[in-house]
A and B are shown apart, each in its own frame.
Chain A
């Protein structure tokens, strides 16, 4: 029986590729809700020119929004870099450049995940205000 196939098939033979395939789809589904709500709040309902430090102070006063933003950051970063990894598989043919490109992507995943997590978890406007005033 011939089965008509379109789209990228479920990878076989490698657990990593299979999990990555599922991850892109599951995280993508979650990100639709997280990111579309985020875009509407920060670009449509609120004008970007009105977003400043105080906007973040108000938003991150709530643990819900911190958790929401951290989940969005983590899923979006891994989803995006995993997508970039598949683009590398498609275009980068030589072995040396592939190793280089993978190294860049994995390093970016670690560095940006740490930077984003530090920003969300350690943000403390009271301490920052005191430091700015030299106290």
Chain B
């Protein structure tokens, strides 16, 4: 890639690591919330359906798209981490692996985001 930019550029490993942790903790936060909401189902249809106004709120619908992005990125980058850990030559392809993660993420996320935005 040709660019005239000559300032600081964060290395791929650092960017992917930071995003992996951010996405992981974000998804964990939602998982805990999700366990609370599914626990309420034991209290019957009314209690559960009344609670769902939260997930239908516009702010949550946007949060949902960010959540799906986080899940897809964490999954794609997780494969890269496993490759790095179990394939001894992986360090030579660090940059290629990172761009592979970006490509996998986009292939998964763009169609999903399309359907989710359409449903809004």
* B112 touching A44, Cβ below 8 Å: yes
With contacts A25-B81, A48-B61, A115-B35 taken as known, whether A40 is within 8 angstroms of B46 at the C-beta atoms is no
In whole angstroms, how far apart are the Cα atoms of A54 and B119 in the complex? 20
A1 interfacial by beta-carbon distance below 8 Å: no
Binary per-residue interface labels of chain A (46-86) against chain B in the complex, 1 for a CB within 8 Å, 0 otherwise: 01110111101000000000000000010011001101100
**What class of interface size applies to chain B in its complex with A?**
35 or more
* A112 touching B32, Cβ below 8 Å: yes
B28 to chain A, nearest CB (A): 4
Binary per-residue interface labels of chain A (1-40) against chain B in the complex, 1 for a CB within 8 Å, 0 otherwise: 0001111101000000000000001001101100110011
* B91 touching A132, Cβ below 8 Å: no
Binary per-residue interface labels of chain B (10-34) against chain A in the complex, 1 for a CB within 8 Å, 0 otherwise: 0001000000010011011001100
Chain A contact residues, majority secondary structure: helix
B49 interfacial by beta-carbon distance below 8 Å: yes
- Most chain A beta-carbon contacts within 10 A, residue among B44, B55, B64: B44
* A53 touching B91, Cβ below 8 Å: no
Chain B contact residues, majority secondary structure: helix
A118 interfacial by beta-carbon distance below 8 Å: yes
A125: which B residues are within 8 A, CB to CB? 45
A92 interfacial by beta-carbon distance below 8 Å: no
A28: which B residues are within 8 A, CB to CB? 78, 81-82
Which of A36, A51, A73 is B52 in contact with, Cβ under 8 Å?
A: A51
B115 interfacial by beta-carbon distance below 8 Å: yes
* A32 touching B32, Cβ below 8 Å: no
* A53 touching B28, Cβ below 8 Å: no
